[in-house]
Amino acid sequence: MSNNTNPQDTLRMQAEARFVPASGADVATRNAEELLHELQVHQIELKMQNEELRRAQIALEESRDRYVDLYEFAPVGYLTLSREGQIVAINLTGAALLGEDRKKLLQCRFERLVAPVDHDLWQHFFAHLIRHGDKQICELVLQHSDGTLFNARLDCRLMEADAEAPTLRITLIDNTERKLAEAEQELLDQRLRDQQFYTRSLIESNIDALMTTDLSGIITDVNKQMESLTSCTRDELIGAPFKNHFTDPARAEAAIRLVLSEKKVSNYELTVRARDGTETVVSYNAATFYDRSGQLQGVFAAARDITERKHLEQVLLDNNDELMSAKSVAEKASLAKSVFLSSMSHELRTPLNAILGFAQLLEAGSPPPTDAQMIRLHQILKAGWYLLDLINEILDLAVIESGKLSLSREAVSMAEIMHECQAMIEPQAQQHDIKLTFFPLDYTWFANADRTRVKQVLINLLSNAIKYNREHGTVEVKCTCTPERIRISIKDSGDGLSPEQQLQLFQPFNRLGQEFGGQEGTGIGLVVTKQLVELMGGTISVESTIGVGSEFCIELIRDVTPELAAGSTVPAEFLPPALDNAELKTLLYVEDNPANLMLVEQIIETHTHVRMLSARDGNLGLALARVHLPDVILMDINLPGISGIQTLKILRENLATAHIPVIALSANAMPRDIEKGMEAGFFRYLTKPIKINEFMSALDDALKLSQNKLTNATETGQTK
């Protein structure tokens, strides 16, 4: 029977074989029915088998599709290589990873996909795998068709299905991200190692001995300086108690406790004792440190060697004591010298006045002296006047050096000062045939200085410019101004000074060789001038050229113009209230500065019930006070001749003027100056520059007091 026989044909043939002719019709019928039934049963079974077969085929197809999907779209690439290295199979994921169409990849050699840098590695790996057949893992750099490189991991296994033609099964994984992560981690690790090395280098290069301890004071780390300081190795120090390396363990232990309680300690002195017995004084500075979670870990301490500094401090203290002692001796000697010079200068004036007085009487006597006697008298007078100048300058220098010079700093009009100096010095210039030129300057320029001392400085410089000039020479005086300073220059056409002479210019009694010339001098004038300028907050300088001349410059602090603005009036709130007695009141202002006189005069112009008298010094002020009996006196402190305080004392001693309120108006604004003035008996003590409201209020109070005293005197039968 053929293997290709239909199952239905088989059943029919079996039925025919079983059919045996019978004699009776029933047998035949029965047999036919049985055969038909069996045929129907077989048909049903066949249908069931076909259905099962169909279902199995469907399941097989579904399983095959799932396998294909798993294979084609797996998260990794699957490749099959021949023995020659050609790609014979590859899934879609593998093709996508390699960046090529699958048709192009099939039958091409895998080696073409390996980056040139790894060609040798792949060839060696492939040959080894083909020979030995074991499972291998390889990491390569592969290359897309567009030249893009990526890192890949290959899990390779040799399949022995055909010993003559083995195939290589490869699982391909894109390793780029992992490689980048590894590279980044390696970079971070390297940075951490670099940072640790850098931190350690800083610790080791520190000039201080550094250490860390735990909470119980056990050393946990040190640097090289600590090893050197203690003569112990790092291993010997770590784990040892901190206190064991100091001469006073209790104090060292207390330092650790202090840091833990206060969080930090500064300049805590301890003495380290090294293993060889060497002791070193250190400044201990420490603070607590914590881990990343904020948990207290221990103490970080720095110990700086201050042994040498302590020694130097002691030497310095000893030297300071010696210097203070020497300074005290020098100050006493300087004061004694100044007191002696001052005293002797005053003592010398009496006999000198007699010498000069009698010499002048002899010069003008009758009968007149002979020619020979006249020559001798001229020598006596010349020497006497020179000696008087010397005494005056020595007295000035002594007062300055003793610190007793009192300056009245106020707004000084430079235009007025220059005009006065020009008037005083022109006769001397004419006598020496010197052309004197004062360049014009702004009348609004005021310096903050002592008026009398500024004139003294300028007269001295002008006198020198004339005395040490050449025949028919010139002297030019200029004044310039900046917002902060006023600069006065005095330029002459004399012989000039060498650089060496300029360095010696302000030395006392040094006349730079002029003591052998025809001009007399003391060698003190420029010293006094320099000190006066500097006491007023200014500077003095000189520029000179041999054969051309010299230019002396002084700079003073600029002050605001003390005048009221043109057309301005005193605010209404500063005007005094109407007085009960409508008669005119008198204000006497004792002041030697014209600018201040002018300012007060402008203020008083708005006070319709007050007239102002002025006096330039204390003696004139006393005379005017006795004659006019003013209602109020305004008094400067630093006056020519007698001071304001001395003038007040004389006023108080006179019954006619004792009742007059006296207001002090001075540039001496130190608290001690004000206190001293009030103790002297001034009604008020006002300071310059004038504050209008304060001035008007004081004037109003003084006028009221004066009126009350006048009323009381009238009621008791007394008059002014």
Residue 413 lies in a domain: yes
Do residues 543 and 461 both lie within one domain?
Answer: yes
Which residue in 490, 481, 453 sits closest to 558, CA to CA?
Answer: 481
- Each residue of 315-335: pLDDT tens digit? 888 888 888 888 777 777 766
Query: Last residue of a domain, which of 505, 537, 559?
Result: 559
**Cα-flanking dihedrals φ and ψ of residue 286, to 5°?**
-150, 160
> How many secondary structure helices (H) and strands (E) does the chain include?
20, 22
Distance CA 81, CA 161 (A): 13
Q: Is the pLDDT of residue 244 over 50?
A: yes
**Cα-flanking dihedrals φ and ψ of residue 480, to 5°?**
-125, 165
Residue 691 lies in a domain: yes
Strands, DSSP E only, in 98-218? 136-143, 149-159, 167-174, 209-213
Q: DSSP letter string over 23-69?
A: SSHHHHHHHHHHHHHHHHHHHHHHHHHHHHHHHHHHHHHHHHHHHHH
DSSP letter, residue 86:
B
Q: Is the pLDDT of residue 486 over 70?
A: yes
Residues 671, 675, 676, 682: is their CA dihedral positive or negative?
positive
Look at residue 23 in the predicted model and tell me its pLDDT: 53
The number of domains in the chain is 6
Q: Which of 354-368, 557-571, 679-693 has the lowest mean pLDDT?
A: 557-571
CB 418, CB 529: distance < 8 Å: no
Query: Last residue of a domain, which of 374, 400, 426?
Result: 400
Residue 564 lies in a domain: no
Do residues 299 and 315 both lie within one domain?
Answer: no
CA angle 516, 522, 523 (to 5 degrees): 85
Higher pLDDT, 3 or 152: 152
Model pTM score: 0.40
Higher pLDDT, 68 or 259: 259
Look at residue 694 in the predicted model and tell me its pLDDT: 82
Do residues 414 and 544 both lie within one domain?
Answer: yes
Q: How confident is the model at residue 719 (pLDDT cuts 50, 70, 90)?
A: very low
CB 93, CB 75: distance < 8 Å: yes
- Each residue of 265-299: pLDDT tens digit? 988 989 999 988 889 999 889 999 998 898 999 99
Average model confidence (pLDDT) for the chain? 81
The structure tokens listed for 141 are 């750099």
- Each residue of 602-635: pLDDT tens digit? 778 767 788 899 998 898 999 899 989 999 999 9
Residue 72 lies in a domain: no
Report the first-to-last Cα separation within the chain, whole angstroms.
Answer: 177
Q: Is the pLDDT of residue 438 over 70?
A: yes
Do residues 495 and 582 both lie within one domain?
Answer: no
Higher pLDDT, 287 or 160: 287
Q: How confident is the model at residue 206 (pLDDT cuts 50, 70, 90)?
A: confident
Q: How confident is the model at residue 645 (pLDDT cuts 50, 70, 90)?
A: very high
Query: Which CATH number fits the domain that encloses residue 216?
Result: 3.30.450.20
Domain that holds residue 62: 7-66
Look at residue 482 in the predicted model and tell me its pLDDT: 92
Higher pLDDT, 395 or 444: 444
Query: Which CATH number fits the domain that encloses residue 530?
Result: 3.30.565.10
Do residues 592 and 464 both lie within one domain?
Answer: no
Look at residue 575 in the predicted model and tell me its pLDDT: 42
Residue 195 lies in a domain: no
CB 521, CB 514: distance < 8 Å: yes
Do residues 474 and 514 both lie within one domain?
Answer: yes
Look at residue 164 in the predicted model and tell me its pLDDT: 60
- Each residue of 459-470: pLDDT tens digit? 889 988 998 898
Look at residue 423 in the predicted model and tell me its pLDDT: 85
Look at residue 326 in the predicted model and tell me its pLDDT: 80
The CB density around residue 247, as the number of other CB atoms within 10 Å, is 13
> Mean pLDDT, to the nearest integer, of 593-609?
78
Query: Last residue of a domain, which of 156, 174, 192?
Result: 174
**Longest Cα pair distance anywhere in the chain, in angstroms?**
223
- Each residue of 176-205: pLDDT tens digit? 888 888 888 888 888 888 888 887 777 787
299-309 residues labelled b (16+ CB within 10 A) or e (exposed): bbbbbbbbeee
CB 118, CB 141: distance < 8 Å: yes
CB 597, CB 591: distance < 8 Å: yes
CB 198, CB 191: distance < 8 Å: no
Indicate the helix (H) or strand (E) that contains 203. helix 176-205
Distance CA 480, CA 292 (A): 68
Look at residue 646 in the predicted model and tell me its pLDDT: 93
The structure tokens listed for 648 are 């007040």
Do residues 538 and 587 both lie within one domain?
Answer: no
Query: Which CATH number fits the domain that encloses residue 343?
Result: 1.10.287
Residue 244 lies in a domain: yes
Indicate the helix (H) or strand (E) that contains 543. strand 539-545
Do residues 27 and 86 both lie within one domain?
Answer: no
Do residues 217 and 293 both lie within one domain?
Answer: yes
Do residues 548 and 625 both lie within one domain?
Answer: no
- Each residue of 6-56: pLDDT tens digit? 655 665 565 555 545 555 566 677 777 788 888 888 888 888 888 888 887
Do residues 415 and 526 both lie within one domain?
Answer: yes
Q: Helices 307-363 & 371-401, crossing angle to 10 degrees?
A: 150
Look at residue 342 in the predicted model and tell me its pLDDT: 54
3-state DSSP call for residue 330? helix
Higher pLDDT, 410 or 24: 410
Beta bridge partners of 490: 477, 552
Residue 47 lies in a domain: yes
Higher pLDDT, 106 or 17: 106
CB 294, CB 276: distance < 8 Å: no
Do residues 157 and 28 both lie within one domain?
Answer: no
Look at residue 574 in the predicted model and tell me its pLDDT: 37
Cβ-based neighbours of 198, under 8 Å, separated by 6 or more: none
3-state DSSP call for residue 149? strand
Look at residue 578 in the predicted model and tell me its pLDDT: 46
Query: Which CATH number fits the domain that encloses residue 661?
Result: 3.40.50.2300
Residue 94 lies in a domain: yes
The structure tokens listed for 73 are 């779209």
The proportion of the chain whose per-residue pLDDT surpasses 90, expressed as a percent, equals: 21
Q: Which of 284-293, 374-383, 500-509, 528-537 has the lowest mean pLDDT?
A: 500-509
> Mean pLDDT, to the nearest integer, of 641-670?
88
Look at residue 567 in the predicted model and tell me its pLDDT: 36
Distance CA 266, CA 602 (A): 64
